[in-house]
Amino acid sequence: MTMPTIRLMPKAEARAIRHGFPWVYSNELVTDRRTKALAPGALAVLEDSARTPMGVVAVNPQSRIIARMLDRDPEAVIDRDWLAARLRAALAHREALYDAPFYRLVHAEADGLPGVVIDRFGDAAVIQPNAAWAEVLLDDLAAALADVTGVSTIVKNGSGRARGLEGLPEETLVMTGALDGPVPVAMNGATYMADLTGGQKTGLFFDQRDNHAFVQRLVQGRRVLDVFSHVGGFSLAALAGDASQALAVDSSAPALELAGQGAAAMGAGDRFATRKGDAFDVMTALAEEGERFDVVVCDPPAFAPNRQALEAGLRAYERVARLAAPLVAEGGYLGLCSCSHAADLTKFRNASARGIGRGGRRGQIIWTGFAGPDHPQLPQLAESGYLKSLVFRLSE
């Protein structure tokens, strides 16, 4: 089948795309009536302004990212076999990293499947089709996923801000197989309970694995506070590292219930407690109660999901650090995390340091962490390297 062609405007940065940048913005493309009439998710051949073919792209005239590069071969056929080849390459990398099948299998553009996230939970996998082309080819993607990995249960998680930007509806469903409850996930010696249909994102955040492991080295015999804990990310890792006690704070009762189930499954329920509430309010209350912890970790949601929210987001990160710092015992450790790609490492580090100072403390950075290697970064796309994790050792 002959694909339609779309063309870059003369002033568009064709060089960036040739060098690996995966997106074309709507103001860079000639958007005549024919292009505007393309259905969201349609495939086309992208040409530069001189009409030289550059590759096969997925088009969505309803999105600011009007085209996403799929294959730099203009003759490529995007079908189930093509999808399977990308999945096999992604799987080979993860199998080299991990002994057990619990990881991010596909990290969107960085794995050559733009807008697609797939997390694997043993015999189950969750697909987030966050781009229109992936929604159109979802059945083929799921079939290829089953063929390549052998998973029997596949969940579509069609929720989140990214789908809204693509004009896609929210929808979560089990496409194949069945689930009879949360899936236990072993990671860093801890047991996490992942709700694949009702939890945040895909049910568990694999990206913090290496940062959990570092904090785990600091906690033996110590009290740990895990703020914005979700299903117990840092607190359960701390219990696996022989922390004397761990307190998980989150606004979600279901997430804290899953955290409690994980602690019980580890045989550590007697060392684990939860506190439901707004994280800022709870940290304020803990300070008023005179509480101190040897290790405090704060892993909030993305306060700066885009450039427009950057300044407000940096103030929020500073506030987190200001409230958390007084809760750390002398010589203890404070971990601060950001999953906001708009806040780069320098800006996040500066906001954190300001907050620690405003909290009356001084700190030395002993760890700078990022997402694990199952979340590869595409060098040309800053958004693929979103996670930053800092650990400070505090003094008065």
Across 7-16, 57-66, 222-231, least confident range: 7-16
Amino acid at residue number 107: H
Number of neighbours of residue 39 by Cβ within 10 angstroms:
11
* Predicted pLDDT of residue 382: 87
The CATH number given to 183-395 is: 3.40.50.150
Residue ranges per structural domain of the chain: 5-71, 80-176, 183-395
CB 117 within 8 A of CB 128: yes
Domains 5-71 and 80-176 share a fold: no
Q: Does residue 333 contact residue 394 with C-beta atoms inside 8 Å?
A: yes
Calculate what percentage of the chain has a pLDDT beyond 70: 100
Instruction: Name, in order, each residue with C-beta under 8 angstroms of 365's C-beta and a sequence gap of 6 or more.
Output: 349, 390, 391, 392
Q: What are phi and psi of 191, to 5 degrees?
A: -120, 120
The model's pLDDT over 101-114, given as tens digits with 9 standing for 90+, comes to 999 999 999 999 99
- The whole-number pLDDT of residue 1 equals 64
Work out the number of other CB atoms within 10 angstroms of the CB of residue 210: 18
Q: What is the mean pLDDT of residues 315-319?
A: 98
| Residues 271-305: tens digit of each pLDDT | 999 999 999 999 999 999 999 999 999 999 999 98
- Identify residue 191 by its one-letter amino acid code: T
Could you give the count of Cα atoms lying within 13 Å of 265 in the half-sphere of its Cβ?
21
- Write out the E strands in 177-290: 183-187, 190-194, 223-227, 245-250, 272-276
The pairing of strands 388-395 and 5-7 is unpaired
Residue 366 to residue 159: CA distance in whole angstroms: 36
At the topology level, CATH places domain 80-176 in Transcription Regulator spoIIAA (3.30.750)
Q: Give the per-residue pLDDT at 318.
A: 98
Mean pLDDT of the chain: 96
CATH topology for 5-71? 2.30.130
Query: What average pLDDT does range 249-260 have in this prediction?
Result: 97
Catalytic residue list: 339
Strand partners, 44: 57
Inter-CA distances, 30 with 27, 54, 63, 200, 366, Å: 8, 15, 14, 38, 50
pLDDT digits (tens, 9 = 90+) for 25-56: 999 999 999 999 999 999 999 999 999 999 99
What are the residues whose beta carbons fall under 8 Å from the beta carbon of 263, sequence distance 6 or more?
Answer: 232, 235, 236, 239, 246, 269, 271, 272
Residue 46 three-state SS:
strand
pLDDT at residue 355, rounded to an integer: 98
Overall average pLDDT of the 153-173 stretch: 94
Cα 103 from Cα 92, distance rounded (Å): 12
Residue 96: which residues within 8 A CB-CB, separation 6 or more? none
Give 156's Cβ-side CA count (13 Å radius).
Answer: 22
Between CA 206 and CA 233 the distance in angstroms is 9
User: At 199, is the pLDDT very low, low, confident or very high (cuts 50, 70, 90)?
Assistant: confident
